[in-house]
Amino acid sequence: MFKHILIPTDGSELSEDAVRQGIRLAAALKAKVTGFHVVPKFHTSDVIMQLLEASQSDYAKAAQAYAERYLGLVSGAAAAAGVPCEVAWTTSDDPAGEIVAAAVARGCDLILMASHGRRGMQAVLLGSETQKVLTHSHIPVLVYR
């Protein structure tokens, strides 16, 4: 069945639950997992020009620390379950596009991700990365709610 599962995480509690469920599924299927995180790009619109270089450097360090912390949950849970795991992260303002691209580039045959279940105006205003992945992926997507 599925041999390689991409599990994106945004660090939220729901996403952490999806990580644990994804690893349980991978263990049952004897599949490997790739944990994936997308960090938003640094935007300079609110930064004083003299602080730009320091701010961008600080942002890059903080972003890496956050990504490593979120992905540490994936690799730790996978190790505890005996599931082969690798992790990766990137910087982009298009998380859904990066998730789909990472799944294709890494040869994944399933994307398992959380959905925050936003509806109505909240969904319109905030958007849904899960919905975008469902719309644009040619790889099966399993949504954890």
Mean residue pLDDT of the chain comes to 89
| Residue 108: φ, ψ to 5° | -75, 150
72 has pLDDT over 70: yes
Least trusted range by pLDDT, from 63-67, 105-109, 114-118? 114-118
CATH code, 131: 3.40.50.620
**pTM (2 d.p.):** 0.88
| Cβ burial 58-88 (10 Å sphere, 16+ → b, else e) | ebeeebeeebeebbebbbebbeeeebebebb
**What is the per-residue pLDDT across 22-43, written as a single tens digit (0 to 9) for each?**
999 999 999 999 999 999 988 7
- Over range 63-67, report the average pLDDT: 93
Distance CA 69, CA 104 (A): 24
pLDDT category at 46 given cuts 50, 70, 90 is: low
pLDDT for 78: 98
Q: Which domain holds residue 80?
A: 4-144
| Residue 114: φ, ψ to 5° | -85, 155
Q: DSSP labels for 46-65?
A: TS-GGGHHHHHHHHHHHHHH
Report how many domains make up the chain: 1
